[in-house]
Amino acid sequence: MLKINELKKYYSGKRVLITGHTGFKGSYMCVLLKYLGAKVYGYALKPEKGSLYELLKKGAKLQHRRDEAYEPLVTGEVFADIRDIKKLTAFVKKVKPDYVLHMAAQPLVLLGYDEPRYTYEVNVMGTVNLLEAIRKGEFHEPQNRKGEFYEPISILNVTTDKVYENNDLSNYAFKEKDKLCGRDPYANSKSCSELATYAYEKSFFADKNIYRVSTARAGNVIGGGDLNANRIIPDCYRSIKNKKEMLIRNPKSIRPYQFVLEPLILYLNIMALQKKDKKFEGNYNIGPDKKACLTTEVLTKKFFEAWSALDFGHHQSIRIAKLSKSLHESKFLRLDNSLIKKVFKYKEIFNMNKTMEYTAKVYYDMLKNNNIYRSIIEIIEELD
């Protein structure tokens, strides 16, 4: 497994195209890649005012005043819809990326129930559009006078742990070979995104040494600054900010939780190593060991404990809420992470205590209007 200082060798000066760079994972990834010296090119919808992304962009600028070698958070970006194949293709051609990380998605289970068609359009056709833009790009042209190609373009499609057919069998940990068949529209759209990637890989990318493609099936991530609706930790933060009681739905649901930088560092490992050697291509589960699978209720309590340590004496009241409509959400979900451990010699980076400490700290700094770009850089520096 490549550590932060080794990743610099792979990413410094490289062109990384990220779809969904304005989202939660995308924002952290921009900070991480900037730290590694990469040039980030983002394609996503325009972020909302006051979003994590905007705060980080401003924070990076503020930091610049004291920093000689300034590069903006992203080198180039387009705010457009992933369903717009013309704009997407033009962007891919212009950027000519060394790496492509696909994270743009409609990522919410509940919104998937309300807007299934939109969810499929973005998550399935969005993936197809990106793969098509890469296929139609000029990467198949020899790139020097001798007719040789440079290193292959390295592509990673980020899906989810929900891609598997899930019968709520407790204690079962999904393996990469298990059947892909998410049950709700969001989960299913991500299964389809996996299948589309497979078809493109086998049909267009496999025999050429120009492309390397993997998918990553990550579980729930947490980290300070996520403001997405209907996610447990952002809900906890909002309850503190708005001085309201915290309502927990599905308190007994068990999920694997990881600190957001954990899968991001693995994504960078997959993209870096597969670029050098085809043997690293694959479809990887990215999830924590069994001990990090917590119930929603325990997770909530741990977050408030970590918050109290920063904000002495803070007490947050919690209530278990009854859902008005009973939409299916899997009660149990765990991934078998032995493949990624074996292939990448991966060992957990952030334990649950560190995860909570860092998550609460970034939210705390957000609430206090401190520079959260700096807060995240400090976490990365501790790893370097």
CB of 21 to ligand NAD, least distance (A): 6
Q: 3-state secondary structure string, 11-53?
A: HCCCEEEEECCCCHHHHHHHHHHHHHCCEEEEEECCCCCCCHH
Q: Closest CB to ligand NAD among 23 and 210? A: 23
Q: What's the closest the beta carbon of residue 69 comes to ligand NAD, in angstroms?
A: 27
Which of residues 118 and 149 has its CB atom nearest to ligand NAD in the complex?
118
Residues 6+ apart with CB under 8 A from 189: 106, 112, 119, 120, 122, 123, 124, 182
Quick one: 59 or 219, whose CB is closer to ligand NAD? 219
> Residue 69 CB: number of other CB atoms within 10 A?
6
Closest distance of CB 105 from ligand NAD, Å: 3
- Residue 129 and residue 83 in contact, taking contact as beta carbons nearer than 8 Å: yes
Least separation in angstroms between CB 230 and ligand NAD: 11
Backbone phi, then psi, for 37, in 5-degree steps? 90, 15
| Min dist. Cβ of residue 124 to ligand NAD (A) | 12
Whole-number Å distance between alpha carbons of 26 and 263: 12
- Closer to ligand NAD by CB, 221 or 246: give it: 221
Q: Which is nearer to ligand NAD, 210 or 225 (CB)?
A: 225
List of residues contacting ligand NAD (CB under 6 A): 20-26, 44-45, 81-83, 103-107, 122, 158, 160, 218, 220-221, 228
Nearer to ligand NAD, 122 or 356 (CB): 122
Residue type, 112: G
Host H or E run for residue 236: helix 232-241
Q: How far is the CB of 306 from ligand NAD (least distance, A)?
A: 18
Residue facing ligand NAD at closest CB distance = 23
Closest CA to 334 of 166, 199, 87, 203: 166
